Amino acid sequence: MSTSKSGSGYVEKGQDYQRDQNYITDRITADGDSRWPVEAGRYRLVIARACPWANRAAIVRRLLGLEQAISMGICGPTHDERSWTFDLDPDGRDPVLGYERLQQAFFARDPEYPRGITVPAMVDVPTGAVVTNDFKQMTLDFSSEWTAFHRDGAPDLYPEHLRAEMDEVIERIFTEVNNGVYRCGFAGSQRAYDQAYQRLWTAMDWLEERLSTRRFLMGETITEADVRLFTTLARFDPVYHGHFKANRNKLTELPALWGYARDLFQTPGFGDTTDFPQIKEHYYVVHADINPTQIIPMGPDTSVWLTPHGREELGGRPFGDGTPPGPPIEGEVIPPEHGPGGIGHR
């Protein structure tokens, strides 16, 4: 049976999309016995703003104030079969690692690394070798292992008393929504697509109901669960609705989810890490099997992300007893033309 690779997964002809979840699962920890100890300045987080999984890591890093402890390299929005590339940097090289391709960090770890080259990735700067690309654990470790370097007023994104319920919510969001849109977009048959579509919208209806009575997924404050849902919602109307055929409704037609998404977008750390032109360029150019012409659509109008959301009526305090992060640091600011209402694909 023929198999094609799509995104970070594969599709067997006529079957469901399967995400490759075999990551490098090493962890950077503060226990003193780790091969990879928490150490300010030692590691570089490599992301691409186009990627929803990498966007999560950028948001959590911002919310916790880890910018000075963990530097960040940013790949361009498109890549070839080999790797993400640092084509946004002068001379096409990451200024810290000296690499042209993220692939070089994976090969520094294992010269015969056999799997996909994915973002986000944490790279050990002294050796130039990737430590982990396990995006699910990475952000949890930012919250739990890097506490010595959190900013004053950093929120608790993974509170102990909510973890049991939050883990269930996070898992359902991942399987049914974060990955659910990919199952729609890369379905190998009409049957597989129909099933994926029904699963996605069952979950979206559940989220719409849940968020109609609470400001955030776990209640009154922002948590890791909100970060994980937001990056899919930010891409929903620009990409997933049309490109992935997840088109029962637009996000803007779902009152609770749309208000919630705008509430987060207008919160420091969320909208200021979201680059709409790079998001669209990635999906419409890289996924040539879905979009053979590689034409990038002009719409939708992203200025609507700045309209009033009214979610304050539900109460809550986004940062709990903490405070919002300050402005993005130099070199990490989204250009105004790439923000809400901006023009141009690049």
Residue ranges for the known binding site are: 84
Measured distance CA(328)–CA(63) in Å, rounded: 10
Encoded tokens for 44: 């570089």
Catalytic residue among 17, 23, 43, 51: 51
DSSP 286-342: I-TTT-TT-PPP----GGGGGS---GGGG---TTTTS----PPPTT-PPPGGGSTT-
Exposure b/e, 207-236, CB count within 10 A at least 16 = b: bbebbeebbbbbeebbbbbbbbbbbbbbbb
Where does residue 301 rank: exposed (0-12), middle (13-18), buried (19+ CB within 10 A)? exposed
Among this protein's residues, is 51 annotated catalytic?
A: yes
DSSP 237-259: IIIITTTT---SS-GGG-HHHHH
Residue list for the binding site for glutathione: 84
| Residue 277: Cβ within 10 Å count | 23
Encoded tokens for 24: 């490098």
Distances 280 to 21, 258, 275, 286 between C-alpha atoms, Å: 24, 19, 9, 10
Q: In this structure, what DSSP letter does residue 169 have? A: H
Q: In this structure, what DSSP letter does residue 154 have? A: -
Where does residue 68 rank: exposed (0-12), middle (13-18), buried (19+ CB within 10 A)? exposed
Catalytic residue among 23, 158, 182, 197: 182
The rounded Cα 258 to chain-centroid distance in angstroms is 18
Residue 6 pairs with which residues in a beta bridge?
Answer: 9
Residues taking part in catalysis = 51, 182
